[in-house]
């Protein structure tokens, strides 16, 4: 998959794709339905499949001090899109110049002239251009005038209502990772590099991998049964485990992170890229009267997690 970041400097080979446009936070089943329409349009026109998105997320750009809301970082989004067969990821730099384009200028400068797109697909609620003034219907009109096709995808309804990143965030905040997964079409994953920790887990007989959740919407703090994919290095592969997500109140922690104990594993993972999938919420974060009580609870957590994961 090619990643293109500047619409003003695009190789000829990277032009002419059929793309789905949006932020695609989480790459949920609604996003996948939009991408599938772009795929079919591309197949009919002999055009490669692409996705047009923005980095940073416009919401982050306009409100940098707002609480974290993203379901996945850009790297995790790219991994997921590549798995869906996306060939061209137009991950455009969202900056003052791009945000100042009127809807018509965006259509002309970015879609037609910059990227030379064959076809674009957007959701029915799509807004674009300065002040979010352009609508999906406007884009369809511009496409007819400027020579690119436009399809409008209707919003997808799930078993519990409209599928959206907002609904997925709420499910995660409530400690309902399986409900989130039903809307995502895959397990919710936290991806990142393993950082150095304080080695407390190793001293307690539970060595953990530590990963930051900075910039991400925080799921409900507590202990989870998890699936772990080691994405690179000599231990690359898939494992079962249990993870504690939160601030570690037993040890007066302050910065939220995720600490994962991988079952039946021995090896050094520092600097390795991990993908941790939340399967079931086991219990909230707690403090204990003694380390012995804490270890006993971890034993129980891991036993429960093993039972849950063996049934998948």
Residues 23-37 have pLDDT tens digits of: 999 999 999 999 999
Summarised one tens digit per residue, pLDDT across range 163-213 is 889 999 999 999 999 999 999 999 999 999 998 766 665 556 688 899 999
Could you confirm whether 259 is annotated as catalytic?
A: yes
- pLDDT at position 199: 60
- pLDDT at position 159: 62
Q: Is the pLDDT of residue 130 over 70?
A: yes
Residues 31 and 231: their CA atoms lie apart, in Å, by 24
Residues in the chain: 312
Closest CA to 136 of 147, 146, 151: 151
Closest CA to 277 of 228, 239, 213, 220: 228
- pLDDT at position 115: 97
- pLDDT at position 204: 62
Locate 137 and state its tokens: 């219907």
When mean pLDDT is compared across 10-14, 161-165, 257-261, 285-289, the lowest value belongs to: 161-165
Which residues does residue 128 pair with via DSSP β-bridges, in sequence order? 134
Res. 248 pLDDT band, cuts 50 70 90:
confident
CB atoms under 10 Å from CB of 297, counted, come to 15
R_g over Cα of the chain: 22
Closest CA to 231 of 76, 25, 4: 76
Summarised one tens digit per residue, pLDDT across range 63-112 is 999 999 999 999 999 999 999 999 999 999 999 999 999 999 999 999 99
- pLDDT at position 196: 78
> What mean pLDDT value characterizes the chain?
92
Q: 177-184 and 29-45 helices cross at what angle (nearest 10)?
A: 10
Which whole number is the average pLDDT over 281-310?
Answer: 93
- pLDDT at position 249: 59
> Is the Cβ–Cβ distance between 232 and 269 less than 8 Å?
no
pTM for the model stands at 0.90
Percent of the chain with pLDDT over 70: 94
The DSSP letter of residue 233 is: S
Task: List own/partner pairs for 92-97 with CB under 8 A and 24 or more apart.
Answer: 92/4, 92/5, 92/6, 92/7, 92/52, 92/53, 92/54, 92/55, 93/5, 93/6, 93/54, 93/55, 94/54, 94/55, 94/56, 94/57, 94/58, 94/61, 95/61
Instruction: Indicate which residue of 43, 259, 273, 286 is catalytic.
Output: 259
Summarised one tens digit per residue, pLDDT across range 263-274 is 999 888 999 999
Is residue 171 classed exposed, middle or buried when 0-12, 13-18 and 19+ CB atoms within 10 A define those classes? buried
Could you give the residue ranges of the DSSP H alpha helices within 174-290?
A: 177-184, 200-203
């Amino acid at each position: 998959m090619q990643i293109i970041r500047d619409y003003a400097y695009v190789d000829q080979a990277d032009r002419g794709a059929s793309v789905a446009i949006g932020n695609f936070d989480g790459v949920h089943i609604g996003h996948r339905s939009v991408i599938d329409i772009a795929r079919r349009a591309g197949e009919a026109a002999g055009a490669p499949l692409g996705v047009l998105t923005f980095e940073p997320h416009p919401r982050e750009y306009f409100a940098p001090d707002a609480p974290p809301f993203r379901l996945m970082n850009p790297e995790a989004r790219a991994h997921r899109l590549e798995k869906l067969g996306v060939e061209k990821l137009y991950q455009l730099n969202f900056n003052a110049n791009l945000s100042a384009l009127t809807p018509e200028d965006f259509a002309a400068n970015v879609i037609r002239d910059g990227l030379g797109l064959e076809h674009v697909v957007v959701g029915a609620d799509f807004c674009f251009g300065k002040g979010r003034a352009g609508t999906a219907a406007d884009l369809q009109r511009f496409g007819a005038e400027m020579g690119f096709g436009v399809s409008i995808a209707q919003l997808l309804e799930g078993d519990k209502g409209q599928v959206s990143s907002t609904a997925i965030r709420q499910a995660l905040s409530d400690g309902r990772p399986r409900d989130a997964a039903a809307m995502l079409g895959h397990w919710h994953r936290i991806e990142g590099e393993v950082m150095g920790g304080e080695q407390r887990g190793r001293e307690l007989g539970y060595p953990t991998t530590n990963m930051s959740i900075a910039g991400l919407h925080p799921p409900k703090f507590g202990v989870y049964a998890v699936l772990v994919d080691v994405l690179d290095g000599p231990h690359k592969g898939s494992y079962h485990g249990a993870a504690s997500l939160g601030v570690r109140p037993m040890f007066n922690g302050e910065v939220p992170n995720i600490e994962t104990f991988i079952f039946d594993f021995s090896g050094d993972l520092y600097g390795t890229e991990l993908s941790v999938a939340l399967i079931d919420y086991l219990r909230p974060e707690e403090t204990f009267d003694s380390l012995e009580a804490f270890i006993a609870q971890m034993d129980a957590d891991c036993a429960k997690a093993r039972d849950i994961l063996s049934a998948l």
